[in-house]
Each structure stands twice: as structure tokens, then as C-alpha cells.
Amino acid sequence: MVELEHVTFDYESERVLDEVSLRIGRGDFLGIIGPNGSGKTTLLKVLLGLLRPASGRVKVFGTDVRLFREWARIGYVPQKATAFDARFPASVLEVVLSGRSGVAGIGRRFGERDRAAAEEALKTVDMLELKARPIGRLSAGQQQRVFIARALASRPELLLLDEPTVGVDVDAQERFYSLLRRLNREFGTTLVLVSHDVSVVAGEVTHLACLNRRLVFHGSPEEAMRSGALAQLYRAESLVVAHHH
């Protein structure tokens, strides 16, 4: 579904991604982990064609990302999706419907099929009964599920989530991960999840990518534990932290 070959990305003169090669297969549930500033969000944005790499190739569904146009096949929940003005005057259903614009076309009015898809997405995340409620009146965990529904409204085959559990309580996180398991196993959605929460993620995903500018490891969570990749990934960071104290 996604192929990155020798992808390098620089912010001004600082190298953020260094020769990253990665393949994501259909039906994978990939967790991308790494310390702060390791390039995780940048990697997602390169995948989405929002950032252009300095070198290397990115292919999505077999097409060069620069030529790819079928964005409705990809859902994206950006970092801090829930950090918006609580007075924002939109209902839950309106927020989710906005996720159909890639299918419907910008500026086209939403029709019955769009509404049906939006309601189905809300049903998937167990939020249909709150469809008329203003988005600002929901808890952080509920808002997060609405933003996932928005990403699901175009019925994507690939769903990218950037740090989705930040600021969400433990109970809501439990429900969130069980939702992701369902999407992956029952619906066959390919998932890519960027997270700081190493221990939780390692227990949920089918594949783990450890990123610290370079791809330190890519394989099963079990292999990551056995190979010491996680220790290697965070060792440098813990030394820096120790030094500061």
C-alpha cells in the first residue's frame, strides 16, 4: 500500500529523516514509535504528500505520491485534532460529513449517500446517538472518536493517526484501542499509528517501526523486544535526560 525508498527530509539545514525505507502492506497495523523530534509526524506528512522529501521515492497504492489523486482512500487524524475552540459551532454530524468532501468534491452539497456514510462512520465509533450535539460539548475521548469517524467517512482503506491518545483518559484509550482492533480485523482497514506510548502500542500492533531520524527497526513487536531495538531507540534519549538532571 505504501512504499518509501531512501527518503530523506531536511527542515532548513537539519536532517529530520535520513534514508528511510519502509513498506506498509495491506491489512497491516503499524505502530511508529520514537523519541521526540525523531521525525514521526514528518514521516506521516511525507506519506500524505504534504511535505516533499529532499531525496527518495514515495509510492501510495502503487502510484508516485506526487501523481496520486484518490485521497478519499486515505483517512488522516492529525495531531491535536481535538485542540480546537470549544465554541466552534458545528454538530458532531457536520464535523463527520466534512470528511466526505474528498469523495463529494469541494463545494458540492452533501447528498443522501454522504449522510449515510457519515452516520455509518459514527455508528462504527459508537457516537451515532450524539450526532446532533455540538462538537465542543463532548469529552476529549468522545471528540477523538468523532475525528476518527470523520476520517472514516470516506471509507478509507488506509487510516493514519498521529498521537491520537494525547490528552485522553485511560478508559477512553481502552475503548479507542478496541475500536482500532475492530477496524483492522473486521473491516480490514490498514492502520498506521504514531505514538509515544511504547508499551501499549507494542501490545496492539502487528508491526512496529522504530524511528529516530533513521529507521532503527521494522518488524514484529516480539522481534523488537528480542532484538533490543527499543532499548537502542530510547537509550540515547535517556542519556540526554540523565545528563540534564
Residue 107 neighbours by CB distance under 10 Å: 6
The CATH number of the domain where 92 resides is what? Answer: 3.40.50.300
164-222, pLDDT tens digit by residue? 887 778 888 888 899 899 999 998 999 999 988 887 888 899 999 999 999 999 999 98
Q: Which residue has the higher pLDDT, 226 or 114?
A: 114
Domain span at residue 45 reads 2-244
34-46, pLDDT tens digit by residue? 988 899 999 999 9
71, 233, 237, 239 from 66: Cα distances, Å: 12, 31, 35, 40
44, 110, 133, 144 from 127: Cα distances, Å: 27, 20, 10, 11
Q: How many domains does the chain have?
A: 1
CA–CA distance, 209 with 202 (Å, rounded to integer): 10
For residue 242, the model assigns a pLDDT of 40
What confidence tier does 106 reach under pLDDT thresholds 50, 70, 90? low
